[in-house]
Structure 1
């Protein structure tokens, strides 16, 4: 079943689509509420909506992100992507040994989510804007310390994720050793729909990987093509790792990490040794297509003005003298 969020004059409405027959509204409930109700109950609610006579034709409908995630963990599970981006971002070759240890991830910003056809603003001081083609799993059941087998039963469905990246900002800030931050948290787009996990039973291979073709285009020109089966870990393995000594909750989004073979521009920059294709500019359109899910398109726009500045850190002072002076006059014991 395919759930989406439609933006209408009276606000957002969740809806379910049945083949090409159009969209059936689901009154009084958001897609995130459907996710929290569990996969079986959500499908039952969707089935009842389909039986109603009301149909929203595709023409003229404006879609938002299918849901507002509770958290977003973004993984890095494609070795080919690691090779290319490592060359581009760090000037180093190969895949680090630590990558093979576990499906590593970072947390990104759920409050900057947008959906299909939304404009993505180039962040201030960014000259190397990039897209990233990913598939994301959405958690439908809470859990901790899950086994890989158990984790698979916690997937509600899948959507497309574009993890937008300001590569020049990211390159500088990652020298601090904390991972990406302002180079990533300005925009994430998901959509166009959330497809329930049962739709992919016949697209799952013997090892548990999804056999889905994925294509990235910039201004209608293909720049990347890969299959999801090239992931280093399955989604259940990623979820099991995320839940270790922690929790996953309904509405959590887990990104596959960027596809290889041109799933982002930075990978190609690293392989070619130059900014080819060039960084994204205002007016560029990025279209990501994944078999079984659909197409997610967004347009890049320029920023209308500069963001407020933040001062650089003050240089090191005589720290020992400062400490001595403070505690000499302090009532703190010691």
Structure 2
């Protein structure tokens, strides 16, 4: 495999990437559009380093990194706006070639949020073990709840909804209204701003203008980004929002959730996943990914989970060299003091 590294989102890369993504499918954060948008907003001070692999002038691999010094980071990390790093590839041999390319060029790795079950992680770890020149550290881990629509799950859904029906009825009791859910609401700048405002009251992520601009840019300009809205039908008051991605791998990713505190008693965090599962798109996907984090509302419907790790791979010889230089300086100082004391 021949490798070519791109330091910019060139026109020829865009075309090849988009075609390869359409051919192979993949998570939202392996698309050209998502990576381009993230780097547009957060690329300052980062050196783009997109590794591509080619065979007979056909692209066979795309690994979107950026570089600081000799260390590779995933595009989309720092700040983190994805749930698991993805590489687009033709077959396992391509991932082994990529792992060899990283090792042969003495690159160090800092991968935030990667699945240990992914083929890239397994290939990379195997080669690190074989070469024995890297020290790999897991420096954080979390879990990601998933919803697979098995027969057992479908049978349990009715029982769970009966409990949620009482929450739905609060709209009539307390507000003389009824709930309505737009799974993929019409693109509306007012709604995306309201979603971020709700979110900011509980978490800090949208205090930064860059974060707000990134999410707004993605939402308003990319068809695979959706904003679901739960609201009161008559008054049109927003109850909750869910920021989602629909990817070519036939998975629905629920990336962020926020709600209006005035309706907290309705438990919108439990209602929204039910409406998602029951929607036309929810019924058509292979499974639903509710993103990292172990919040109770995510696990009310989840029937599987995936471990997500963050790892660093440092070259061992660099530490050995540093230690050797320290010992060498100490030895010189001891020799100097010995001479002075004579």
Give the greater-gyration-radius structure (CA): 2
TM-score (norm 1): 0.22
TM-score (norm 2): 0.22
